[in-house]
């Protein structure tokens, strides 16, 4: 079905050449019509609406939809724009490969590491786990931290787990916590590859980390305390858990108890092979910058290919028992990989239109960069959105090490770089598609019986809880 959907999409893309003849700009780049953004917008609408209309159909056919819409743009660019279109497709393909190698590779490798937390959860221990995850995200990436901790986090909350627990996990561990190193979140990694110094994020973004992670953790403590009190009232009254305004009944989470916490130490970690491969995955982040600095294999994603090999080896040789205890399946990475393949393809004209018409927006202040980067990062994948606004901030200068160091590391430029970086990372938590780990955590939670909100339901909760924190961050850090 995937192949047929791709062929049908390619046919539509070829036919579209007649109705919408392609043109090149004076600089030889594709001149993008706003109509070419329709497949991307349609894919976003379907991701949001189809699980509500027919979840079973969407669960089966989302790859067909992704391949069909993506093939429309691939065929149009390949046949209509010639070498310029081919270059745009290759560039998007390399970015997708780097994205899925890091996100998917960390998911597979982390599945071979079993983290057990001893004891039952309460609001303060839960908040401690979330803050710890926010620190860990900067060492193993938001994907690695999410996959390592989401199952232990759910097991500790067995019998009282609610969708809001998972949403706060996504806000804090899968997104906001990863702003301190380039390893933490894909946009910052791409910035590092383009020339932002590795230590720049830690030196400049730690106040932003504190002003998002800690307020979110505090809000979580309040919400989880309300849940705990509601559970206590229901237990005293003989009811089945799940009270409180806006709460849902805890899921049937018998599957969460596959790997009980051991006695003795409050935390235990199993999976030496997985840990070694996790270190190798992180080392892969530095391969391309090292090769580029020595003039070797420039433009070839050697690091991504290395990470894929490490992930394959990790899955082949790691303990099957650990993967079983982690209830590991390939569906989350399949869902992310196939949906984001369509997103990256259909996003090409959306980003091209932004690059062409961006200067007309007259974006000059950190506030404008923060909210525009953030708004688009919530619905466009935050990594390429980050790069587009980075280019926009440099004007006509070529996006690279020299331009970044001369224009964005000093004075007002540093404030703009901070605004773009935090806008991309933090607002990536506003929807399920803003950042790769969001979809993975959602899929893992749903497989454990948690009734996660729909695309729209998640976005509404993010606007209610997360957005005020991001506005507070703007007021205290970006606006000055």
Q: Name which residue leads in pLDDT, 286 or 215.
A: 215
First to last CA, the chain: 53
Indicate the number of domains in the chain.
1
* Residues 6+ positions from 134 with CB-CB distance below 8 Å: 145, 172, 173, 176, 177, 178, 209, 213
Decide: 339 and 47 in contact? Cβ < 8 Å. yes
Taking only the tens place, the pLDDT of each residue in 299-349 is: 788 888 999 999 999 999 998 888 888 778 888 788 878 888 898 899 888
CB-neighbour burial class of residue 360 (10 A; exposed 0-12, middle 13-18, buried 19+):
exposed
Decide: 349 and 36 in contact? Cβ < 8 Å. yes
Task: Tell me the C-alpha distance between 178 and 429, whole Å.
Answer: 11
pLDDT higher than 60, residue 229:
yes
pLDDT higher than 90, residue 131:
yes
Taking only the tens place, the pLDDT of each residue in 59-68 is: 888 899 999 9
pLDDT higher than 60, residue 246:
no
The structure tokens listed for 349 are: 């004209």
In a domain, 104, yes or no: yes
Q: How confident is the prediction for the chain on average, in pLDDT?
A: 84
Task: Tell me the C-alpha distance between 348 and 37, whole Å.
Answer: 9
Q: What is the pLDDT of residue 480?
A: 67
In a domain, 3, yes or no: no
In a domain, 165, yes or no: yes
The structure tokens listed for 445 are: 């939670």
pLDDT higher than 50, residue 267:
yes
Phi-psi region of 110 (alpha: psi -120 to 50; beta: other; left: phi over 0): alpha
DSSP state of 478: I
> Residue 212: CA atoms inside 13 Å, Cβ hemisphere, count?
32
Q: What is the pLDDT of residue 18?
A: 87
Model confidence band, residue 358 (pLDDT cutoffs 50, 70, 90): low
Q: What is the pLDDT of residue 23?
A: 81
Hey, what's the torsion of the CAs at 60, 440, 121, 244, to 10 degrees? -60
Model confidence band, residue 243 (pLDDT cutoffs 50, 70, 90): very low
In a domain, 417, yes or no: yes
Q: Name which residue leads in pLDDT, 138 or 258.
A: 138
pLDDT higher than 50, residue 252:
no
Average pLDDT of the residues in 355-360: 71
Q: What is the pLDDT of residue 245?
A: 39
SS3 at position 269: strand
DSSP string, 59-119: HHHHHHHHHHHHHHHHHHHHHHSHHHHHHHHHHHHHHHHHHHHHHHHHHHHHTT-EEEE-S
Pick from 215-219, 281-285, 288-292 the range whose average pLDDT is largest.
215-219
Average pLDDT of the residues in 221-234: 89
In a domain, 457, yes or no: yes
Pick from 200-209, 236-245, 402-411 the range whose average pLDDT is largest.
200-209
DSSP state of 20: S
Decide: 180 and 145 in contact? Cβ < 8 Å. no
pLDDT higher than 50, residue 253:
no
Average pLDDT of the residues in 227-241: 74
Decide: 143 and 436 in contact? Cβ < 8 Å. yes
In a domain, 279, yes or no: yes
Taking only the tens place, the pLDDT of each residue in 36-50 is: 889 988 987 887 778
Q: Name which residue leads in pLDDT, 204 or 290.
A: 204
Q: What is the pLDDT of residue 119?
A: 67
pTM of this prediction? 0.78
The structure tokens listed for 19 are: 């109705």
Find the domain containing 265 and state its range: 36-478
In a domain, 22, yes or no: no
Decide: 346 and 381 in contact? Cβ < 8 Å. no
In a domain, 12, yes or no: no
**Token match 């067909």: residue?**
64
Helix (H) or strand (E) holding 413: helix 411-427
Average pLDDT of the residues in 198-225: 94
- For residue 104, which phi and psi values (nearest 5 degrees)? -70, -40
pLDDT higher than 60, residue 91:
yes
Taking only the tens place, the pLDDT of each residue in 141-185 is: 888 888 889 988 988 888 888 999 999 999 999 999 999 998 888
Decide: 310 and 108 in contact? Cβ < 8 Å. no
DSSP string, 142-205: HHHHHHHHHHHHHHHTTTT--HHHHHHHHHHTTTGGG-SSTTTSHHHHHHHHHT--TTHHHHHH
Model confidence band, residue 389 (pLDDT cutoffs 50, 70, 90): confident
């Amino acid at each position: 079905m995937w192949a047929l959907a791709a062929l049908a999409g390619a046919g539509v893309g070829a036919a579209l050449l007649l109705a919408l003849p392609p043109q090149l700009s004076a600089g030889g780049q594709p001149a993008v019509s706003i109509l070419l953004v329709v497949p991307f917008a349609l894919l976003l609408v379907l991701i949001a609406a189809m699980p509500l209309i027919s979840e079973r159909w969407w669960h089966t056919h989302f790859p067909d939809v992704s391949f069909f819409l993506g093939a429309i743009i691939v065929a149009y660019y390949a046949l209509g724009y010639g070498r310029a279109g081919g270059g745009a497709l290759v560039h998007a393909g390399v970015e997708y490969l780097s994205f899925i190698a890091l996100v998917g590779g960390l998911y597979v490798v982390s599945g071979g590491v079993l983290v057990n937390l001893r004891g039952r959860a309460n609001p303060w221990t839960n908040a401690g786990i979330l803050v710890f995850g926010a620190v860990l995200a900067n060492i193993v990436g938001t994907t690695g931290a999410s996959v390592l901790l989401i199952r232990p986090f759910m097991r500790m909350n067995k019998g009282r787990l609610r969708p809001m627990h998972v949403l706060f996990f996504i806000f804090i561990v899968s997104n906001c916590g990863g702003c301190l190193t380039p390893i933490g979140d894909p946009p910052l990694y791409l910035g590092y590859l383009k020339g932002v110094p590795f230590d720049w994020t830690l030196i400049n973004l730690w106040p932003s980390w504190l002003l998002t992670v800690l307020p979110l953790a505090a809000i979580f403590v309040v919400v989880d305390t309300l849940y705990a009190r509601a559970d206590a009232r229901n237990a005293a009254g003989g009811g089945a858990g799940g009270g409180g305004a806006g709460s849902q009944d805890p899921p049937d989470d018998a599957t969460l108890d596959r790997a009980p916490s051991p006695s003795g130490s409050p935390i235990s970690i199993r999976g030496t092979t997985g840990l070694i491969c996790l270190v190798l995955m992180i080392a892969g982040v530095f391969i391309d910058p090292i090769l580029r600095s020595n003039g070797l294999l420039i433009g070839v994603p050697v690091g991504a290919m290395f990470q894929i090999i490490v992930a394959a080896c990790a899955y082949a040789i790691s303990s099957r028992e650990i993967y079983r205890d982690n209830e590991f399946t390939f569906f989350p990475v399949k869902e992310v990989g196939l949906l984001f393949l369509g997103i990256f393809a259909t996003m090409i004209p959306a980003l091209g239109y932004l690059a062409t018409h961006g200067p007309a927006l007259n974006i000059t202040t950190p506030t404008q960069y923060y909210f525009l980067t953030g708004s688009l990062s919530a619905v466009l994948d935050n990594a390429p959105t980050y790069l587009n606004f980075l280019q926009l901030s440099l004007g006509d200068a070529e996006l690279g090490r020299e331009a970044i160091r001369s224009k964005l590391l000093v004075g007002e430029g540093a404030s703009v770089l901070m605004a773009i970086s935090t806008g991309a990372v933090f607002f990536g938590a506003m929807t399920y598609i803003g950042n790769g780990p969001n979809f993975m955590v959602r899929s893992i939670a749903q497989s454990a019986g948690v009734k996660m909100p729909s695309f729209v339901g998640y976005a509404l909760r993010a606007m209610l809880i997360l957005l005020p924190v991001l506005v507070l961050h703007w007021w205290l850090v970006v606006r000055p």
